[in-house]
């Protein structure tokens, strides 16, 4: 998608370096950063220079490429895989990507391993783009149906950033929106601010603006009243891990939006590529929920009057704060899962029908 009118992917490989858009600087500065070592890749995931389930999976894949360039020794690669895998705990795409890469390179001779790893990491990215594009085409039908009945702007609420910045291109939750916009369907997005890191305000609104899509940032608690007032036609969110039974783990606050949508008979869809399905965990209580530094709550960052980025403390110094990053929305509150293969019920049967 575009930034300042120029097409970008979120990650690419060039001259033995991994290039990323540093998302900790958006929307204030657009900086392309080089990752030179596997440690750089691990750090980029941890500090959220890259974030979003599919993108951290792709970064881990390229992290292994960097590890091979550094030291093509079996035990170093194994340790790098473990460190990449544990750099953030909740998104299943990390494990999916690391496992896929390790399987591909296992037993490969040292003269071929780099080429094979580079090709596989690129294929992970290309495949994600294809899948996200299909998610968009499948989700477009839902938006079209609403528009055909309403004959007026379709208002869509989303939480966090499941946009192209969270994937390689298109996004998951935003892909149907981009497709609807391209088709001339008038859409307007309510972008939940998404405290504490403000991915909705800093990233979703930013990327929608760059594509010319009408959007409004709202405080995280505003969705409920908008739904009661009939100002939300549907919700679409992304996910970091969806269980085979249809339970959806996503950015903290998603669950409350799903409850409000349920109470107001508003369709609540989750968009995901199959790389985000966890086929093995049966109980959502087993999903590791990331707890991040409470400083993300107690401090905020923004522009000062001179245009410089500044961080300030907004809580009393003595106050404790807790920063859980994800929650789980039970399948019963999810209207449907929009995947690359089609839309299905959020249930074991629904997912099995699409993914035999
Ligand atoms: O903490 P983040 O910014 O990595 O969380 C991102 C989300 O919660 C997204 O909704 C999810 O990863 C899906 S991205 C297509």
- Tell me what pLDDT residue 340 has: 98
Of 75, 94, 127, which residue is a domain's last? 127
- Do 349 and 283 share a structural domain? yes
- E-assigned strands of the chain? 2-3, 6-7, 11-14, 17-21, 32-35, 154-158, 187-192, 215-218, 234-237, 241-243, 248-251, 268-271, 277-278, 299-303, 309-313, 326-329, 336-339, 342-344
In this structure, the answer to whether residues 173 and 59 fall within a common structural domain is: no
Helix axes 38-46, 74-85, angle to 10 degrees: 10
Cite the active site residues.
240
- Taking Cα atoms as reference points, which of 8, 283, 300, 303 lies closest to residue 163? 8
Confidence of residue 332 (pLDDT cuts 50, 70, 90): very high
Do 161 and 191 share a domain, yes or no? yes
Sequence-separated (6 or more) residues with CB below 8 Å from residue 312 = 299, 300, 301
| 159 and 121 belong to one structural domain | no
Distance CA 287, CA 299 (A): 28
State whether the beta carbon of 49 lies less than 6 angstroms from ligand 1. Answer: no
Residue 52 alpha carbon to ligand 1 centre in Å: 4
For the Cβ of 160 lying below 6 angstroms from any atom of ligand 1, the answer is: yes
Q: What is the pLDDT of residue 133?
A: 98
Residue 135, in any domain of the structure: no
**Looking at the predicted structure, is the pLDDT value of residue 1 above 90?**
no
Query: pLDDT category, 2, cuts 50, 70, 90?
Result: confident
pLDDT over threshold 90, residue 116: yes
Examine residue 250 and state whether it is found in any structural domain, yes or no: yes
Q: Which atom of ligand 1 is nearest to the CA of 93?
A: 12
Rounded CA separation 170/18 (Å): 20
Spatial CB neighbours of 344, under 8 Å, sequence gap ≥ 6: 336, 337, 350, 351, 353, 354
Last residue of a domain, one of 127, 154, 183: 127
User: CB of 139 within 8 A of CB of 175?
Assistant: yes
Residue 292 contacts residue 162 (beta carbons within 8 Å): no
In-domain check, residue 35:
yes
Q: Would residue 75 count as lying in a domain?
A: yes
Classify residue 45: in a domain, yes or no: yes
| Domain containing residue 335: CATH number | 3.40.50.10470
Which run of H or of E encompasses 105? Answer: helix 93-105
Pocket of ligand 1 contains residue 242 by CB under 6 Å: no
Query: What does the pLDDT look like over 16-34, one tens digit per residue?
Result: 999 999 999 999 999 999 9
**Region 109-128: what's the mean pLDDT?**
97
CA distances from 291 to 3, 89, 196, 345 (A): 32, 9, 12, 30
Q: Edge to edge, what strands does the sheet with 241-243 contain?
A: 277-278, 241-243, 248-251, 326-329
pLDDT, tens only, 157-207: 999 999 999 999 999 999 999 999 999 999 999 999 999 999 999 999 999
- Residue 45 CB partners (closer than 8 Å, separation 6+): 51, 56, 59, 60, 63, 84, 87, 88, 94
**Based on the domain organization, do 25 and 173 belong to the same domain?**
no
Domain count, the chain: 2
Q: According to the model, what pLDDT value does residue 303 have? A: 84
- Residue 189 and residue 271 in one domain: yes
- For residues 84 and 94, give the distance between their C-alpha atoms in angstroms, rounded to a whole number: 8
Q: Are residues 114 and 144 in the same domain?
A: no
What pLDDT, on the 0 to 100 scale, is given for residue 302? 87
Query: What number does the ligand 1 atom closest to the CA of 56 have?
Result: 4
- Would residue 133 count as lying in a domain? no
- Average pLDDT on 310-339 reads 97
* Ligand 1 pocket residue status of 204, Cβ below 6 Å: no
Helix, strand or coil, per DSSP, at residue 146: helix
Question: How do residues 279-315 score in pLDDT, each as one tens digit?
Answer: 999 999 999 999 999 999 999 988 888 888 899 999 9
Is the Cβ–Cβ distance between 240 and 249 less than 8 Å? yes
For residue range 74-99, list pLDDT tens digits in order.
Answer: 999 999 999 999 999 999 999 999 99
For ligand 1, the distance from its centroid to the CA atom of residue 325, given in whole angstroms, is 10
Residue 265 and residue 344 share a domain:
yes
Question: Is there a domain that residue 134 lies in?
Answer: no
Identify whether the C-beta of residue 91 lies closer than 8 Å to the C-beta of residue 288: no
- Residue 74 domain boundaries: 2-127
pLDDT tens-digit profile of 203-254?
999 999 999 999 999 999 999 999 999 999 999 999 999 999 999 999 999 9
Using most ligand atoms within 8 A of CB, pick from 48, 57, 97, 161 the residue to mutate for ligand 1: 161
Of 57, 250, 323, the residue with max ligand 1 atoms within 8 A of its CB, to mutate for a pocket test, comes to 250
In CATH, what number is assigned to the domain containing residue 55? 1.20.120.420
Residue 176 sits in the same domain as residue 323: yes
Q: Which of 54-58, 220-224, 304-308, 323-327 has the lowest mean pLDDT?
A: 304-308
Please report whether residue 132 resides in a domain: no
pLDDT confidence of residue 184: 98
Does position 341 have pLDDT exceeding 90, yes or no? yes
Q: How many residues does the chain have?
A: 356
Confidence of residue 268 (pLDDT cuts 50, 70, 90): very high
**106 and 79 share a domain?**
yes
pLDDT at 27: 93
Cα 201 from Cα 211, distance rounded (Å): 15
CA distance 131 to 152: 29
CB distance 273 to ligand 1 below 6 Å: no
Same domain, 200 and 281: yes
Q: Are residues 121 and 145 in the same domain?
A: no
Domain final position from 57, 92, 127: 127
Q: Cβ(250) to ligand 1 under 6 A?
A: yes
Q: Give 203's DSSP letter.
A: I
* C-alpha dihedral, 214 to 220 to 225 to 229, nearest 10°: 10
Distances (CA, A) of 51 to 47, 56, 179, 182, 279: 9, 6, 23, 26, 22
């Amino acid at each position: 998608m575009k930034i300042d009118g120029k097409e970008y992917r979120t990650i690419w490989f060039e001259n033995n370096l991994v290039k990323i858009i540093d998302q900790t600087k958006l929307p204030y500065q657009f900086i392309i950063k080089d990752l030179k070592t596997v440690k750089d890749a691990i750090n980029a995931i941890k500090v959220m220079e890259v974030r979003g389930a599919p993108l951290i999976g792709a970064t881990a894949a390229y992290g292994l490429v960097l590890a091979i360039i550094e030291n093509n020794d079996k035990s170093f690669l194994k340790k790098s895989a473990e460190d990449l895998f544990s750099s953030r705990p909740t998104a299943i795409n990390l494990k999916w990507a690391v496992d896929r890469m390790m399987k591909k390179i296992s037993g490969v001779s040292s003269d071929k391993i780099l080429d094979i790893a580079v090709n596989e990491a690129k294929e992970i990215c290309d495949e994600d783009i294809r899948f996200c594009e299909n998610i968009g085409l499948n989700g477009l039908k839902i938006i079209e149906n609403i528009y055909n009945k309403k004959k007026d702007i379709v208002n869509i609420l989303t939480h966090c950033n499941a946009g192209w910045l969270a994937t390689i291109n298109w996004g998951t939750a935003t892909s149907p929106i981009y497709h609807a916009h391209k088709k001339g369907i008038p859409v307007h997005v309510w972008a939940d601010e998404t405290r504490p890191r403000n991915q909705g305000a800093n990233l979703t609104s930013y990327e929608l603006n760059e594509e010319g899509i009408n959007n409004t940032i709202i405080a995280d608690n505003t969705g409920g009243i908008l739904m009661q007032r009939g100002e939300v036609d549907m919700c679409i969110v992304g996910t970091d891990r969806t269980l085979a039974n249809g339970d959806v783990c996503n950015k903290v606050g998603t669950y409350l939006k799903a409850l409000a949508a349920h109470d107001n008979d508003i369709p609540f869809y989750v968009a995901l590529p199959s790389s985000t399905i966890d086929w093995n965990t049966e109980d959502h209580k087993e999903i590791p929920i990331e707890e991040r530094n409470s400083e993300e709550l107690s401090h905020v960052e923004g522009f000062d009057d001179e245009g410089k980025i500044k961080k300030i403390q907004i809580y009393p110094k003595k106050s404790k704060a807790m920063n859980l990053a994800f929650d789980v929305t039970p399948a019963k509150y999810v209207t449907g899962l929009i995947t690359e293969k089609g839309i299905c019920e959020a249930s074991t049967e629904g997912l099995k029908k699409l993914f035999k």
